[in-house]
Amino acid sequence: MHLTLITVGISFTMYFGGLFPNSYENSKFLMFMFTWVQGVSNFGFIVMIVNLLPHNMYPKLAAKWGSLIYFSSSFADFTIQKIGISEWTKVRMCLLFPTLSVARASQNLAIFEYTPGGTGLNYDETLFEPYHNFRILSYFFIMLYALVFHFGIGMLFLKYGSVPEIIRNMIKAILRTKKESWDVPNGDPSRIGLKPVDPKNFENRHDWNLSMPNYKDLEE
C-alpha cells in the first residue's frame, strides 16, 4: 500500500514536472508500472537483506550491507554496455544482478523519449523494440523475477536463520556427528567399527585369556 502511494506521488511529480511527456501521453499506466515494478523488486531485496543478518545486528548493519550490495552490483553494468553483446547475455546478467535492468531500461526510455522524433514509451513499438540488444519488456519480467527471487531467499533466511546462524549450526552438526562416531553406546564396539574378539581365532584358552583385559587389575 505504501509502495503504491509512493509510486503515485513519483508519477504525479514526473507528469506535472514535464518529464517524459510523450510516454505519459501514450500510456500513463505503463509509466506508472515502470516505476512500480522497481519498487516491488526493491521490497523483495529489503526482505532478503534484513533476514540475511542476525536481528540483533540490524538496522544499521543491514542498511550498510544492503547499500553496499546494491551499489556494487551496479558496476556489473559495465560488462553489458557494449553494443555487440547479445540480448540473451544481457538478460542473464540482469537476472543475476536485477539492478542492471533498471539502467538498461532507463536508457532505452530516455532514448525513445528524447531522440528527435521520438514517440516515447508505447504499446505499439517501443515496449517491444530492442535498443542495444535490450527491450523494456524484459525489464518488467526481470523486476517481477527479482521480487520473487529475493523475497523467497529472505523467507528461507527467516525460517532457517541468518547466514551466521546457519554457519554456526552447520559447524555444531559436524562436530556432533564426529563426536557420536567416536562414542561407544551401550558398550557395543561394533558401533565404531570394532568387532568383538572371536574365541575361535585362538589356539587355546591361555591365549584367549591373554587377549582379554584383566578387569581386576583395572579396578585396582
Residue 112: per-residue pLDDT? 93
Candidate from 14-18, 140-144, 214-218 with smallest mean pLDDT: 214-218
Do residues 25 and 80 both lie within one domain?
A: yes
Judged against a pLDDT cut of 90, whether residue 142 lies above it is answered with yes
User: Above 50 in pLDDT, residue 8?
Assistant: yes
What is the reported pTM?
Answer: 0.69
Distant-in-sequence, close-in-space partners of 197: CB < 8 Å, separation ≥ 6: 211, 212
What DSSP letter does each residue of the chain carry, written as one string?
-HHHHHHHHHHHHHHHTTSSHHHHHH-HHHHHHHHHHHHHHHHHHHHHHHHHS-GGGTTHHHHHHHHHHHHHHGGGGGGS-STTS-HHHHHHHHHHSTHHHHHHHHHHHHHHHHSTT---S-TTTTTT--SSS--HHHHHHHHHHHHHHHHHHHHHHHHH--HHHHHHHHHHHHHHHHHHHH--GGG-GGGGTPPPPPGGGSSSHHHHHHHS--HHHHH-
7 and 99: one domain? yes
Does 85 lie in the same domain as 14?
yes
State the residue range of the domain holding 185.
176-219
Residue 180 shares a structural domain with residue 151: no
The CA–CA distances, whole Å, from 73 to 10, 161, 190 equal 25, 24, 54
> Is 171 part of any domain?
no
Q: Is 147 among the domain residues?
A: yes
Share of the chain above pLDDT 70, in %: 75
212 and 135 fall within a common domain: no
Evaluate if residue 185 carries a pLDDT over 60: no
Domain boundary among 113, 135, 162: 162
Same domain, 42 and 85: yes
What is the predicted pLDDT for the residue at 200? 58
The verdict on 208 and 122 lying in the same domain is no
Shared domain for 17 and 108, answered yes or no, is yes
Q: Would the pLDDT of 94 be above 50?
A: yes
Rg of the chain over CA atoms, in angstroms?
Answer: 32
- C-alpha cell belonging to residue 7: 509510486
